[in-house]
Each structure stands twice: as C-alpha cells, then as structure tokens.
Chain A
C-alpha cells in the first residue's frame, strides 16, 4: 500500500511537470502579454520597462526556470492584471465553482441511478423508452442553450429563480459558501441544473447498459431463486456489479465540471474560477492561466486516485498495486 501511494505520488508530480511544460510552451505562442498591460499610447521605452518588470525580456528557458524555482518555494506567480498572487485569485473563486458542481453532481446521481436501474431492468417498457429518449436530449442539447432556456422560463417569464449571481454567502473557515444561506440555494438551482443535465444523461445510460449486462448473469437469477425482493436483486446484487464504469465516468465528469464549468458560469454570471479562466485568457494573463491549468491537472490526478480506491471498495477482486 505504501509503495502504491509512493508510486502514485511520483506519477502525480510527473503529470504536473509535463503539464507545466506544455502550458508554458503554448503560452509563449499566444502573443505578447505586455501589450495587455501597458496603455495604448505607451512609448517604446515604457513597453521595454514593463517587459523587464514582468520578466518577459528573458529567454523562455530562463522564464521557465524562474517559474519552476519560485513554484517550488510556494510562489505561483502574480497576475499581470490584478497584481495579486495567481493562486489566491483562483482559490478565492474555487468554493463557488466547487459548490455548484457538487450540487450538480448530486442531482445527476440521484436522478440518473434509479432511472438507469429501472430502464435497465425493464428495457422494453414504455417508461424506459421515454427515459432513454429524454437522456438523448440531455446528451445532445448544449449547456449554453439549456441555460438560456432555463433563464428565459424560470427567471424572465415566471420569476421563480434569479438569473445571475451567487446571492448571499456565509463565511465558514474563511470560505464564502452559498449553500449556507437560503438565498444562495435560490441562486444555485438554475446553474446547477444546467450543469447536471449532461452528466445525468451519461450516468443514466451507463447505469442502464451495466444493468442490462448484469441482468443476464446467473447470480441475478440465483438471488431471485433465494427469494430476494426485486429491489434487493436490482440494487444489492445488480447495481453493485454495474457500478465500476459508472464510477469511472462520475470521476471524469466531476473533474471536467470543476475545471471547465466556464460556459455555465458565464451565462449565469457565477463568480467561479471558470469565469476567471476565460477572463484571464482574454487578457493574456499568463501566470493565472498556467497555475489554473496545473491546478486542474492536480484535481484530475486526485480524483482518479480516489476513483481507484472506490474500485477496490466495490470489487474485492481489484487490488491497488
């Protein structure tokens, strides 16, 4: 186990290093950030000075070396625009994104699993067909369109939910959390629903496919021959065996939503880190982009690790090695 953890840790550092190199290289091809910083009528001398201040006058190798060495000392660089540490900027906005994604994921799971089990157990039923057709919509409708329709219906037409912003937040352990206030919940509903539909549809289809596969197995019939209830046969014997691919997709979707909830955050003016990424890309705010993408890589690596651990909890035949 200890060897496994060590292996995973080394793997993680390797991934982060590769990501930092790729991001740094890509950034150097995307234009000169110095023009984003200086005023339009700046003189050549002012531009050269700004470039020197930002350290952009040195070669890429030297820039990267400085970046890595200061990173190892806990300095992730400063935003060109905000003049603040890039990490602080991102971490400030992270709770907003994470809580929206968590609500979306819980919603997706709570809806997708029972419907997927039902559709898998009754593949020819009328209700199953309705569920499966709806899930196709969930997969194919783009998030920005769903978001705008929801705003039009629930915010503009009926005025049930607010269309933008995060509402009141309460502070706990220095983090500002919407889920602690009723107003926050009120604001989170529409963006979370928008964000959850795609994941909900994918998880539903994975669950159904798994259940249909499992339904053919002898142990399902043996469980019934023991006199187990239909619910027990489906959930205790069936679902657990169908869960591995569902958990895999869940992990990937979770990482994806945290990292790239950008569009939903933009539509609902949700002050999360996805919106920060988009703004930073517009402003060529290189330090923020680099740190953001490395953080995303870290999130994915950690989620994958957790998913692997969940595998072993589900299936005793899987061991970590």
Chain B
C-alpha cells in the first residue's frame, strides 16, 4: 500500500459540488464528492444513470456548461486546483494532461474532418512537432490501437469506420499527447458485446504502456471489477462507498453497493428471476431528508429518515455512508 502522507495522489477531488440551476429548481448533480486517483491507478466511478457520474468527469475538465456550475470543492491535479484555474490554463490541461473518451464513438468524432485531421489537431495543440513528425506520431498511434494500414486510414472520414474502430480512434486521440489521466465515460456502453472486451483490453494496455491513470465511469460493475484498482460508488450525487476493488466487490458495506453487485446476472447459478434493487432513483431536484437511498433500502430504520449518513471507515478499509452498514460477509 502506498503511503498517503509521503506521496500525494495524481488527482485529488475534494468535496466537489456541481449544480445545475434550471427553471424547475437547482439540481445538485454532484453534491460533495471526494476521491483520489493515484499514479498509474484505475479508479472506477460507478452508479446508476442520473447518479452524476458523467458530471464529475466533465467537472474535472472544466467542461460544465450553463446552467451548470461548479459551486464548491477542489479538484487538485498534482496539487494545482483546476476549479480556480482560468480557461487558458484549462486548455493546456485538456488533451495534454487529462483527456477524455466519450460514450458514443458514433457521435464523438467530427463527421466532416478526416481521422488524420482530428488526430493531428491534438499534436498541433500540445506539441512542438513539425508536420512530418506529427504525421508519423499519428500513424504510430493508430497502429498501436490496432488499426492496420494506418497511413491510409488517416485520410478516411469517421463514417468509413465501424463503431468499434471509431472508439479505437477516439482512444488513439485521447492517448496521443501522453496525458497523465484518462477519463473514460462509459467507453464500451454503445458497442457490441463482442467489441466491448477488445476495447477494454486495449485501454488497459494503453494505460499500462504510458503509465497513465484512468477514471473509468460506468454503470457496469462487472467491467469495473475487472479493470479498476479502486472503486467509488455514487448515488444521487453523493459518494456512498469507496474502497479497493476486491474488498468492495466481495464484501461491500453499503446496501446500495450490495444491490448493484447482486443485479449482475450470475451464470454459475440458475435463478428464476434476476435480482434487482426495488424502486428507482429519486427525483434529484427534490431529494428526501436523511439518506437518499432509504426508500429502496432493506435495512432502513427511523434514523435513516432523519440524519444524512456520512462516509465512515468500515471493515477492510472501506468507507461507506450508511447508518447500518453491512459487516464483512453479511447479507442484507
């Protein structure tokens, strides 16, 4: 285990609050989220749709558009606060220090520019390389994400590629300037199942080769348990549980995490019915008092309606925000 005092993390997000001020009221999409990402580490950010996962990713890059606004907290990249940084500084962070892979490769590439132009743009922005050197770097990068005849494919347009190929291109663009951190927002959700594992494997090798870190945003616990070193579970804009992947998957302390894990279909057991978490995510504009999860929680008691639980240490070094956490091995 690394010594937290001796080695500061690559990214330290502290009490991040990103709100959207809409006509229907203020949406606290991210409401006090804290986590760390160490050097070379993969951090999984997990939760249901509408849990604020993507907003965390866009907040880190300063890409929150009106009516959204970062209302509080710090995003420390190697000690430097990105919330306080101006647009000029953020532009040198984007693509060079932190890059992003979007969910849908069919829409994240510009249809009117060649793949080569879109790759070259990154190097023109973030390197001093000449035209030939940039071209060579693009060819090498495209080959390293598994696209053959790369020099030729650079002249092609996105619509001439399949979905999986496009996501490889997106990953190539994200890796091109050798960033320290990749934020991957549901990178395989829009792809065929057969392609998914290829893309995940590619991302893992790319990150390992470059010694980069990654925040993997996903609703898919199965994916994250394979890829991540640490997991942060979000629910309604709050962190409900954090910990090392193995500990969190095997013995989660929060009933919500337990529910997510049990929702993964288990092929070794034959069940009549898939397990699910009852109910649905509450309206984020109008959250209940106390614990946000209590209406869906099998362990909820009177206290849960009164006080909002805070992250507290649990077994195996897990942190969970629950008044009645699960003990190691306990089922709800």
Contacts and interface: CB of A to CB of B under 8 A. Distances in A.
A10 interface: no
Contact of A219 (B66, B96, B100, B108): B108
Interface string A221-257: 1111111111010001100110000000000000000
B99 A226 contact: yes
A82 to B, nearest CB: 51
Contact of A315 (B99, B111, B122, B170): B111
A222 B102 CA distance: 7
Interface string A96-133: 00000000000000000000000000001000000000
B110 interface: yes
Contacts of B157: 316-317
Interface in B84-100: 87, 91-96, 99-100
A44 interface: no
A314 interface: yes
A232 B121 CA distance: 10
Contacts of A317: 111, 157, 159
A61 B264 CA distance: 82
A241 B111 contact: yes
Nearest to A240: B112
Contact of A226 (B95, B104, B107, B159): B95
A69 to B, nearest CB: 49
Contacts of B113: 236-237, 240
Contacts of B111: 219, 241, 315-317
Contact of B121 (A218, A228, A241): A228
B117 to A, nearest CB: 9
Nearest to A225: B100
Given A226-B122, A227-B122, A218 B107 contact: yes
Contacts, number: 72
Contact of A222 (B92, B108, B126): B108
B173 A218 contact: no
Nearest to B62: A224
B240 to A, nearest CB: 28
A157 interface: no
Interface in A253-276: none
B58, B102, B112, B113, most chain A CB atoms within 10 A: B112
Interface in B106-126: 107-113, 121-122, 125-126
Interface in A119-160: 124
A118 to B, nearest CB: 16
A59 interface: no
A226 B91 CA distance: 8
A73 interface: no
Contact of B109 (A222, A224, A232, A236): A222
* Interface core residue of A124, A217, A224, A240 (most chain B CB under 10 Å): A224
B277 interface: no
Contacts of A217: 107
B34 to A, nearest CB: 23
A313 to B, nearest CB: 10
A222 B226 CA distance: 27
A225 B112 contact: no
Nearest to A217: B107
Interface in B55-70: 58, 61, 63, 66
A310 to B, nearest CB: 13
Interface in A175-234: 217-219, 221-230, 232
B284 to A, nearest CB: 21
Contacts of B87: 230
Contacts of A223: 110, 121
A268 to B, nearest CB: 40
A315 B158 CA distance: 12
Contact of B110 (A124, A225, A241, A314): A241
A221 B63 contact: yes
A221 B94 contact: no
A225 B107 CA distance: 14
Interface string A287-315: 00000000000000000000000000011
Contacts of A124: 66
B95 A316 contact: no
Contact of A227 (B126, B159, B170): B126
12 contacts: A124-B66, A218-B102, A218-B104, A219-B110, A222-B100, A225-B61, A225-B63, A225-B99, A236-B113, A241-B112, A317-B111, A317-B157
Interface of A: 124, 217-219, 221-230, 232, 236-237, 240-241, 314-317
Q: Across chains A and B, which 6 residue pairs bring their CB atoms closest together, nearest first?
A: A227-B95, A227-B94, A218-B107, A225-B100, A226-B95, A219-B110
